[in-house]
Amino acid sequence: MRFLNDFVTDLRFALRLLYKSIGFSMVAMLSLALGIGASSAIFSLVYAVLIDPYPYKNSDHIVAPTFSDKRGDQGRIWYTIPDFLEIKQDSKTLEDAFLADDRAFVASSGLPESVKGIAYSPNAFEFMGVPAILGRTFGINDILSPSAPPRIAVISYLFWQRHFNADPRVIGKTIELNHELYTILGIVPPRFTWADADVYVPLPLRPDALKPIPLMGRAKPGVRLEAVSAELQVMTERFAKQNPNIYPKEFRMRVQRLNDWLLGKFQGTLLILLAAVGFLLLIACGNVSILLLAKAGARQKEIAVRVSLGASRRRVIQQLLTESVLLSFAAGFIGVLIAYHGVPAIVALMPEYSVPHEAAIQVNRAVVLFTFAISVLTG
């Protein structure tokens, strides 16, 4: 109880002192706030892109099969539907896999509009594990005949806003795509933006189809990427012997995590940027420390009087720490405001496809906690 009373007394004294030296207080707070705000803004980018980039189930286990060959060519390996079905059934390292085939549609309902679509294998939404915010998604139970699926569709949140004015009564209605009517089953959440598609329809799984289609998989828990690569190497070499015109020749398989495949070297750039603003924060802390030391030197007489009147060394240090922490918390609050307004500016300056569109780059709870933590450390 005594400690609490001492803290309240110290806090009141610190507020009076900072208000009395308003010029010094503003310079110190703004110096720290700029460093904290810059660090928080970049951390919000790092958190959204590297720590929590996707809303999909176990997204850190989602993998993309890629290849490189002797000529130096590299890229994704696409699979035919029969080969996909074999991988899905026989793989010992993949928990699941799905196909996603790009489609171009013209929506004729209302004003004609060019629409980007994706044809998903029936298990894709179950693979993603993201429920619809309105209605439902389609699944294996909706596809009685895999080779001739029904004309059903799931639409994106942005397309629902843009084309249907966010009308909740759109579920169960039809939309005309390429002169064919599709029944709308549901609407996916705003962060579900796979390939920036507007419409998702079922992919016909014809066993004789030889068109190669992009495949994504999910590695089983505890399975290393090298093991997935080795297994797919063997399976894909067998597929290549059966269909040599579809698969690359003399290739080396490399399975990459979804974020590694999409971001590449940009991940390192983000970490370097975070280190750079961290260094900027250290410089700001150094400048404020110099100001505080100069001020402490000017207060030597005051501190000597307090000691002579019976103040213990602990109470004097507690008072000085209270002033420092109060200053850093005020700077942290301003830093959050700087980050809040700075993050949209950073996002606007970034190239469109430099980060996943699923990433929610914003000042969220994690960013506020980060700001609080560095405010405590700077104090």
Task: Please list the alpha-helical segments (H only) found in 47-156.
Answer: 81-90, 124-128
**Residue 15 is encoded by which pair of tokens?**
């507020």
Query: Which of the pair, 144 or 239, is modelled with greater confidence?
Result: 239
In this prediction, residue 309 carries a pLDDT of: 52
Check: CB of residue 264 under 8 Å from CB of residue 353. Answer: no
Query: Which of the pair, 348 or 314, is modelled with greater confidence?
Result: 348
d(CA 148, CA 65): 27
Structure pTM?
A: 0.82
pLDDT of residue 250 exceeding 90: no
The separation between the first and the last C-alpha atoms of the chain, rounded to the nearest angstrom, is 24
In this prediction, residue 100 carries a pLDDT of: 96
Q: Which of 337, 269, 254 has the alpha carbon at shortest distance from 74?
A: 254
**Residue 2 is encoded by which pair of tokens?**
């005594």
State how beta strands 94-107 and 113-120 pair: antiparallel
d(CA 233, CA 238): 9
DSSP state of 62: E
d(CA 378, CA 155): 47
Check: CB of residue 161 under 8 Å from CB of residue 139. Answer: no
Helix, strand, coil share (%) of the chain residues, nearest 5 = 55, 20, 30
Check: CB of residue 224 under 8 Å from CB of residue 231. Answer: no
Query: Which pLDDT tens digit goes with each residue over 122-154?
Result: 999 999 999 999 999 999 888 877 778 899 999
DSSP state of 109: S
d(CA 370, CA 358): 22
Place of tokens 């404020």: 288
d(CA 224, CA 230): 10
pLDDT of residue 303 exceeding 60: no
Place of tokens 């029936």: 122
HEC string for 246-300:
CCCCCEEEEEEEHHHHHHCCHHHHHHHHHHHHHHHHHHHHHHHHHHHHHHHHHCH
d(CA 218, CA 60): 9
**CA geometry: angle at 22 spanning 16 and 24, to 5°?**
115
What does the pLDDT average to over 99-110? Answer: 87
Instruction: Tell whether the torsion through CA atoms of 326, 328, 332 and 338 is positive or negative.
Output: positive
Phi and psi torsions of 103, nearest 5°: -135, 145
What does the pLDDT average to over 180-191? Answer: 96
What does the pLDDT average to over 315-322? Answer: 60
In this prediction, residue 340 carries a pLDDT of: 93
**Residue 186 is encoded by which pair of tokens?**
């549901």
